[in-house]
Structure 1
Amino acid sequence: VGVVATTQVGGGRSVVVATMLEMLAMYVQNRLCRTSPVQVEVGGEVIDVQMDDMRALLAAVEMEKAHSRVVVMGLDCEWAKHTQTVDLIQICVCESVVTLCKRSGMKEEVRRGLTLLMADKSIVKVGAGVKGDAVRLSALIGSPIYSCFDLADANMEVEKEETREGEKRGRRKKGDERLSLAKLCEKYTGKRLDKPEHIRRGNWAVEVLNEDQVKYGAADALISFRVGVKLIAKMSRKSRSDLRARDLDNLLFDVYEQKKEGNKKKERRERGGASGSGGGGRQKRSYMEVIAARKTPLYENCRMESPDGVLLCTCSAKRCEWYLKKGIATLTSTSPTTIRLLHRPSGYPSKSESYYRTVKANACVVCGSEEECLKKYIVPHCYRKHFPSLLKERRSHDVLLFCKCCHHAASKEEEKLRSAIAECAGIPLLRPIPKRGIDLAKKKAKEAAKTLLKCKTGEARLPTVRQEELHSRLTSYLISQDMPAPPPLHCASLKGVLEEVTQLNAVVVNTDYTSHEEEVVKAIVEGRLEVKDIAAAANTGLSLLSSWEKEEERAGSSVPFLSLQHFEQLWRAHFLTSLRPQHLPVGWKVEHTKGEA
């Protein structure tokens, strides 16, 4: 329709008519083709959120351009900290249009639309810390991003101006700090922006976002838009109606151009070293590269039954093969693989204990992702290996599956609790006595032997005086160890002695060393460290305190290592409160004990 209008309408009005007709055509096409919006509640308001609907977004931008030379776009991105790759782009160009674009499965139409919007200098991209978002988004779409407007920087400029005016009136000076989006929202809109930690650090790379993630992403884009409009108007000393009639260059003096130019240090690192060198230096691998995902599923969900047909547990195919090979079970089904024991088991699982009998999904227990999963001990192995053998028997209850993203988050939370334990117990993580040391005399003798051996084999050439110095050092060490002195330099038999000395191990294991974890477990068993004190210091697992006290009063000393069982429960409670897993297997619980297993 737009092409026909351009050819038929003459004069200067042809372009205007064509543009309006194109907008009309786009609007009609959008109404016919767009996906249904998702309605979410943000700050007490119900708004429509479009998922990957670039047509609706472009149409809204054109409508804004028709009324104003300044189009404000709220922009925010979400990504996993250890990958630094954008997983979700949140955009808001008016009160009624919020669009979320996912990286996974991104269509070419969406990518082209993002490229056009980000390269349009008449669209001001506003957000708190938008510079960081722009760098990552630029790398994703392969295009520069222009006219970015950092709300935190703009707020600081406004505060500086207000401070100067306030000083003239004798008012107190304001603090000079960068505010987060939540604080900017409270300051400029008077509303509170909830940003739950477990959602912020969640898995944004999932195929389908849950309702909380959609609400979180939409709120960030919408609030960025609203705060941006207020800040730009405040800096211009005009209302938004006047803003439309003003020139962008004169009004937004701090709008900057964000190009896809990497950090110089990063570029040099990618080239493999310092500037001008083409050598391939060793690069520090990221967390995601260091940890390896499982190549086979953790749960094969084979079934093991008692002779009377009662399901005892689910297990691996390898375990079933072992029972069959030993001739102590028979195969009763292949779909799923089911074996029946030929002997009566020592015990049957109780009705309340369903964890070991349930079918478990090979997916992350936190976010549900099935990609690149690996197992993790909820009670860290570094503590558990010092437990008594009764508590170290093989159990799968505290071994769960995590995707790489959630595994990284769980490791960080684990370190927080370890630090709290160290502070509460007065047992530092870094011990004053090292686990291993170096025997300097042996090390120097070994180095001297290596150098002399190279001279013997012709790999190196040294002055005779220097060789005699090294030979003297070697002789002194061997004599101090009640060993025979080496032959003179010119003797052929010296080579054999040198080869023996080069095989010496200069590393010495310190017999007085005890690890932080060993000391903590020992202190808990001996009663010098109370688990409830750790819970109070770490502010985690507090809901368990009353039940622990009742157990201690009821059981007394009849239950072995009750304090260590409470220590296990503390780690499980910390895992639940810090990561808020949404996909735990049926029957998994904090109060799980060895007796139930």
Structure 2
Amino acid sequence: MQVSTRYSDLYAASAALAVGCTVSYIIYKLTKGRRNAADLFGYLNIKVVTTEESCDQVVQELRRRCQNHRALGFDCEWVTDNGQRQPVALVQLSSFDGYCGLFRLSHLKAMPTSLKDLLEDETIYKVGVAAADDGNYLNHDYSVVLKSTLDIRYLAELNGLEAGGLATLSSSLLNIVLDKSWRIRCSDWEADELSENQVQYAAMDAHVAIRIFAILLEQLDQKQKMSSWLFGTNGDSVWSHLDEYCLKYADVQYKMKHVKLKDGAKEKDGRTREPPSVPSKGYKLAMRAKPLYNNGYLEAPDGELLCRCDNKKALWFVYKELGDVVNEDPFTVRLRFEPAGRAVGDVGRYYQLEKENKCVVCGSTNSYIRKNVVPREYRKMFPEIMKEHASHDVVLLCAECHQLSNMRDHAMRARLADMCGAPLEKYQRGNNEFAGKKMKAVARALLYQSHKLPDARRKELEQVLLQHFPDQHEITEEFLGKVVQTKLALEDSEQESHGVKVVEYFFKNGGLLRLEELWREHFLNSMEPRHMPALWSVKHNQEKLLVKWNDGRVTQEHLKLIGVTRL
């Protein structure tokens, strides 16, 4: 009996050892060759931003580095306290070549204008996993309208891959293991100083996203062989046709696919499955179900109503000891100082009216999104005298009306492009600027990918370059290097952008007030809103400036700034 027991024990031990070796071998095979992200991405240049000055510098450098790729890796971090999400504490942005900006919003007094403009720049894609969801949080916490987000899981699906999270995609595409320990993910992102592990984790998430994005684009380009831009007919790289792959999925929330169940069937957690919601396409902006306008009162020292405003804005005067709360319902703050101006005429009465929390087009009250009637790409270049108290041009739309309005805005932009000689970048085919970009793409293909090109294709590309540069008699490595390094006009100066050219045109031809009026007229004509605020006027700014002129608060110098000589 004892012998039998010994053999039984020995057999059990051997079996356990065999199982253990098998599991170890499987783990070894699965992880063989995989490296930690920190080991592979030692070249990262990480900048932790806590001041507005450093923010402006980092944003400028990020813009410079993403000129060719027009994409940045993007992610956000925040703290959850007792189950409640706190405002976004950290925004991470990374360029393709490894320049990472970690913007500590929890340590900045306000959202810096340079960062806000970058996040709202629709010409630069912000790529990551669930980027549109993070955009909703930024909109809710800081009123940032994040534009051109792209969830890389869409591109993964187009390539026939299983669309897992960032760690899964990193493992399968980069052969890199990301540290997704809860101790880092759930750490204190509002701490006075971020730990080295936090800094590395935050930077890796953003940079890995842009690297995966690049790989998926290249795979998609080769798989679909659409015009074969790098190896095919015109020599352009996939980055030259970014919109053709990404525009369809820009600002669309990714929907996880579930196992199909019949309506009324039970999920694993016991809940009854409900029919899918419509529409399935998500929306990038924060669709507010709670009232946006709570219509607090702001009064002059003698009790005269100056305007209706958000309670937080009214409380600002209290915190600064510039006003006092005189009523809780309705919430009313009375100023301790005489304001620069009071409500005069229809212009003043407009700001005294109660603002309704509903879509101004269809009247929906379920959810709504802010719409800038005059797009920021133009308004951001207006002089301050025109940007003060600009709430007149911010209206509420439901998601469907907002999307439709944005689509119809393209026609207005195209009209302005023709009128002002300010072509939109995506429509610049055939001009010298586009030709220059094409030559740079051809040169890059020959310089860096020549060994992959068929002989016939390589000779074809060489002839393209020789025809464009008639003084060049042969293709040399030195010549290709010079073409690749050629600085194009649009890369040199922001002054060549569509928005800048339009603003300059109207400044010299009729004034910027006319540009405002055109956008307001376009909104009324294209959307036919049925619920616009009373006293909303196409000529609102002109009427407001006229009141200030009569009060002596606008000078001739102010008028020169907006391109007019008289009101």
TM (norm. structure 2) is 0.37
TM (norm. structure 1) is 0.35
Q: Max radius of gyration: which structure?
A: 1
